[in-house]
Amino acid sequence: MSTVLTTGYRRYALALFLAVNLLNYIDRQVLYAVFPLVKESLRVSDTSLGLLGSAFMVVYMCAAPIFGWIGDRGSKVRLAAGGLGVWSLSTMLAGVTTGYSQLLGARSLVGIGEASFGTVAPGIISDYFPKERRGRILSRFYLAIPVGSALGYLLGGVIGQHFGWHTAFLMVGAPGLLLVIPMALLKTVDLPEKDSQRSTGYSALLKNRSFVLNTLAMTAMTFAMGGMAQWIPTFLNRVHGLSVARGNLLFGGLTVVAGIIGTLLGGWLGDHFQKKRPDGYLLVSGWGFILGIPAMLLALTAPDLQSALSGMFLAELCLFLNTGPLNTVIVNVTRHDIRAMAFAANIFVIHALGDAISPAFIGFLSDRWGLGNALLSTVAAIMLAALFCFICARKISGDLEADNQS
C-alpha cells in the first residue's frame, strides 16, 4: 500500500537498494575471478569459459524487456525482491554443480534474476526523491558498478584460491537471500494514476526523441567501456610488457578509484547544472566524454607506462561522470507508468550494440592492424557518445514540456 514516507525511510530504502546492487555486481563478476579454477576442474576450453559469460549476457538482455513490461503493470518492489532471490539462489546453485552444462544453466538463471531487478530498481529509487536530487541519488546507487565488480574479483579470487570455486559461489550468493524479505516489504511512493489514453507500450519510447538519443549515447559509451575492460589488460601486457596478473591488478585498481570519484562527481555536477538549465545532465555527460577523448589517446599512444596509466585513469574518470546523469535522464523523460520498460529497453540496446560486440570487434581489428590501433575504435565511440548527448541536449527541453513528465 502506497503512503507518505519519511526522510529516514527514504534513506533506508536507498541503502537497501545500494546493498542489493553491490551483491548484484559481486555475483555477476565472481565467475570471471574463478575462470582458471573452473577450467582446471571441469577441463573445458577457453571458448566454453567465454560461453558462460555470454550466456548470462544474452539471457539478461532478452529477459529485460519482458520484466520491463511486467514491472509497469504490477508490483515493482516484489519484482525486484523476486529477482534478488532468483539470482542469489542461482549463484549458490552454481556452487553445487558437478558439470559444465549445469554451471551454464545456473549462470543463465542469474541473468533472469538480475534482469528482473535491473529494470525496476532505478525507477523505484527515483520515486523516493525529488527531481533536483536524482542525479546524486542514482550516482550512489550506481557506485555498485565499480565497487561491486571489484569485490566480485577480490572475493572470488580469495575464496576460490583457499576453498575452491564451488565455495566461492556459495558464499557470495548466500547474503542476498537475507535481503529478499526486506526488499519485498518496502513501502512505495504515491504516484499519479495511469493515463489510459496515452501510449504505454514500447512504441511510446520509440517516439520519445530524448530517450532514443540518450540511449544511443549510453550505447556508444558501453561499447567503449566494454572494449576497454576486455582488452586494456592485454594492451598493457603486449605494449608495456606487464605480466597478465599485474596488468589486471593495475587496471582494476584504476577502474575502482576512477569509478567511485567519477560516479559521485558526475551525480553532483549533474544536479548542480540541472538546477540552472533543463539540459544540465546531458551537458555534464557530453563534456565528460569530450574531456575523455584526449585522455584515452594519451593512454593508447604514450611511450611510457606511467603516462599511459595516467591517461587511463583520467579517461575512465571522465567516462564514469555520465553514470548518474544519463540514467537520471531516462527517469526524467519517461512517465512513471512506462519507466520499467524504459530501463528494460535501455538495457537491451546498450548491451546488444555495446559491450556484447565491442570485444570481438576490437579483436577483429587487432588481428589486422594491431591492438593499439584497434583500441582507437573506443575513442571513436566516445566521440559518438558526446555527439548524441549534445543533440539530445537540444531536444530535451521541448520533449519535457510536451510530455509534462513527472
Q: What is the mean pLDDT of the chain?
A: 89
SS3 321: coil
Return the minimum-mean-pLDDT range out of 12-16, 53-57, 267-271.
53-57
What domains appear along the chain, each with residue ranges and CATH number? 7-184 (1.20.1250.20), 202-403 (1.20.1250.20)
Cβ atoms of 167 and 38 closer than 8 Å: no
Number of H helices, E strands in the chain: 19, 0
pLDDT digits (tens, 9 = 90+) for 170-192: 999 999 999 999 999 998 776 66
In one-letter notation, the amino acid at residue 167 is: T
What is the distance between the alpha carbons of residues 141 and 328, in angstroms, rounded to a whole number?
11
Around Cβ 291, how many Cβ atoms within 10 Å?
A: 17
- Nearest 5°: phi and psi at 257? -65, -45
Report pLDDT digits (tens) over 72-109: 888 899 999 999 999 999 999 999 999 999 999 999 99
Q: What is the pTM of this model?
A: 0.85
The greatest distance separating any two alpha carbons of the chain, rounded to the nearest whole angstrom, comes to: 62
What is the per-residue pLDDT across 199-256, written as a single tens digit (0 to 9) for each? 567 888 888 899 999 999 999 999 999 888 878 888 888 889 888 678 777 888 888 9
